[in-house]
Chains A and B, each alone.
Chain A
Amino acid sequence: MNKRIDWKRIGGALLESLGQPFIAVLISFLLGGIIIRFAGEKAIPTYAIMLNGAFGNGFYLSATLSRATPIIMGGLAVCIAWRSGYEAMGGEGQMILGAFCGALVAAYFPGPGIVKIIMAILVACVVGAAYSVLSGWLYDRFDVTFIISTLMLNYIANNLASYFTTYVVKDPASLDINSIFTAKIDETARIGKIFEGYSIHWGFVLALVMVVVTYVILYRTSFGYKAKMGGLNPRFALYGGINSRRMLYLVMVLSGVMAGLGGVFEVLGSKYRYVDQMIFSTAYAWSGMVAALLANFNPFGTTVASVLLAGLATGGSAMQRGTSIPVETANMIEGVITLLMSVKLIALLSERFSIKKKKTIRHGKDGEEA
């Protein structure tokens, strides 16, 4: 009797985990449909164009997965830091510096292509980690909260990269004043495409490897356990003999490495140079953060959410090409989905109903007693 499968419970759990995104997506696409009608287009064909432009065929799918690569890495950086209780949002700055320094190393470091690639990746890791540690140090030494320091450091990183790209290391081959980017990386020093003619590159595979690595670190090592303890209850962690300062810096290094890698993958795999504002204007790190928050800092969930967010962006640009609807509509839909995902809709609803039920039962009993 005890071994009987509790279908009701499994159904409830499924409903809770899948129903929530389903309702959120449904409501936001309904709202988006109204907006699209308002702008003078038919909703369903527009969505068809959007879906096709995101996942419709191999070409679009590969564009989406390629776009998802830096988002996944930014998400992993957030997973590591936030799960350990450090609400750092510096992924953007670390990604920018990783991309910028990686692009320079890959373009100018002497040696064969493979050496350039390895050096670029190493430098990006070091730079990302260092910038991340900087915010950790500000927190540790001066008690500057992460939210403030990382936000400011993001802008500083973008401005610095922009300055150097414009005045110091601008591509000497480019004659156009308006195109601000560093020198193009040799074909030998690039991360190759997985399929010829498609934009998906091996950086995506490397990102998936990093997802597994992050999962193992966070869920299968004592480091991950300690980090989680520190996040849940710093005092208890201290009581348990965990050196919180050491944990802080280790977490910051790991998180910075992930963000830096995200930047260098984007440079070596798809842009082949650092273009001014390339990370800042695309908001990869912010999307990654949203993905990680939605997935409750689970690396695998973050990956799925990142791909969906990337699909929304590539689908949005397809929509802009195919209809009169601007790409920003996708931003609005993303905003509403995120907003609705932030609350446990189904849990709230069922709670409300069960409270009502309980109340009626209690009333019944009261009635009997009286």
Chain B
Amino acid sequence: MTVSVEYLASVFNSTLRYMTPILLITLCANVCSKVKVFNIALEGTLLTSAFFAFLTQYFVRNIFVAVLAGMAVGCLMTFVMGFFIVKLNGHPMIVGMALNTFAMGLTTFLLSLVFHTKGVVSDVTMKGLTKVTLPVISDIPVLSTMFSTLTTVDYLAFFMAFVVFVILYKTPVGFRLRAIGINDAAASSLGINVQKYQIIAVTVSGALIGLAGCLLSLGSVTLFVQNISSARGYISLAANALCRNHPLGALLSSALFGFSTALSYVLQNTAAKQQLLNNIPYICTIAAMAIYNLVNLKKKERLKAKKGNA
């Protein structure tokens, strides 16, 4: 197999395209765990927002409205989750599982109600997200492949990582949010309305998942298929654990998942079998976390040993 530069460029391109939804979801998981709300409803939120973005575009035919609808549904789902966990003191795991089950049921139900199918729905006349053609780069052969077919939301995803970072680490609001995560009792004693902050943060971060949902159903192809989210929510949970809750780290960890997914599709053309290749992202997750933790543990041990000697 000869590997051309053009080929590598296309791998880079698909890495970018697989990574952006995961990046957005990871950022949401990031904010949620910063305010101590364990969010396992990522999967269901993603599924519903992808569906409603698609549905809105199908009826309204206005991509801007469709993206807004996706974001609104994302916010609504995370709000319900936040309300049940924070205000009503529900077990995060049960609440999340319940929402995931509900989302699966709701989307399939509406799919068969509106489109009379439980499989794939696509409409060639439907417009997806606007594709960005970069002015100079699109004329250069390799670079143009690297950045081709990326939509506005793809670029927005990278931008959002920096936005979330600035909000969390450089503003008073972010300081309060992080304070809640570190010690909610102490934050409360400083006069921060912990529950209010938690619910608002969780709700707003749902919009990020809404964007990711738009990328799935209105991104490079405009179609919706039952369970389109296909475990991206859970993978993002892992990506978030890997980047230790840091928005800029999320860029790296989601790139890892994007790359491993791209790799599994690239190798598809070789003799390797699909089922085995599908495991690449999952094995990468475990391996990456294990290596990261091992290195950290060794560092700590070394520090301890140094202190002992001194």
Contact = CB atoms under 8 A, between A and B. Distances in A.
Interface of A: 35, 39, 87, 138, 141-145, 147-149, 151-153, 155-156, 159-160, 162-163, 166-167, 286, 289-290, 293-294, 326, 328-339, 341-344, 348
Which of A286, A334, A337, A339 is the most central at the interface, judged by chain B CB atoms within 10 Å of its CB? A339
A342 B98 contact: yes
A294 B279 contact: no
7 contacts: A145-B289, A289-B97, A326-B113, A326-B118, A334-B101, A334-B105, A342-B98
Contacts of A39: 109, 113
B183 to A, nearest CB: 19
Nearest to A330: B105
A335 B279 contact: no
Nearest to A149: B286
Nearest to B93: A293
A326 B294 contact: no
A145 B282 contact: no
Contact of B98 (A148, A326, A338): A338
Interface in B247-284: 273, 275-276, 278-279, 282-283
Nearest to A82: B93
B137 interface: no
A182 B86 CA distance: 47
Contact of A336 (B40, B98, B234, B238): B98
B102 A339 contact: yes
B57 to A, nearest CB: 22
Interface string B90-101: 110111011111
Contacts of B100: 335
A326 B289 contact: no
Contacts of A335: 98-103, 105
Contact of A144 (B109, B279, B293): B293
A39 B113 CA distance: 7
Nearest to B118: A326
Nearest to A286: B97
Given A144-B286, A153-B282, 18 more contacts: A145-B241, A147-B241, A148-B241, A151-B238, A155-B282, A156-B283, A159-B279, A160-B279, A166-B275, A293-B97, A294-B94, A331-B109, A335-B102, A335-B103, A338-B97, A339-B80, A342-B98, A348-B89
B106 interface: yes
Contact of B276 (A163, A341, A348): A163
Contacts of A333: 105
Contacts of B108: 326, 328, 331
A27 to B, nearest CB: 13
B208 interface: no
Contacts of A334: 98, 101-102, 105
B218 interface: no
A151 B237 contact: yes
B290 interface: yes
A348 B102 CA distance: 24
Nearest to B227: A281
A288 B98 CA distance: 13
B97 A332 contact: no
Contacts of B91: 293, 342
Given A152-B285, A342-B91, A343-B88, A144 B105 contact: no
A160 to B, nearest CB: 7
B297 interface: yes
Contacts of A344: 89
Contacts of B286: 138, 144, 148-149, 152-153
B165 interface: no
Given A148-B286, A156-B283, A328-B104, A338 B94 contact: yes
Given A156-B283, A159-B275, A142 B109 contact: no
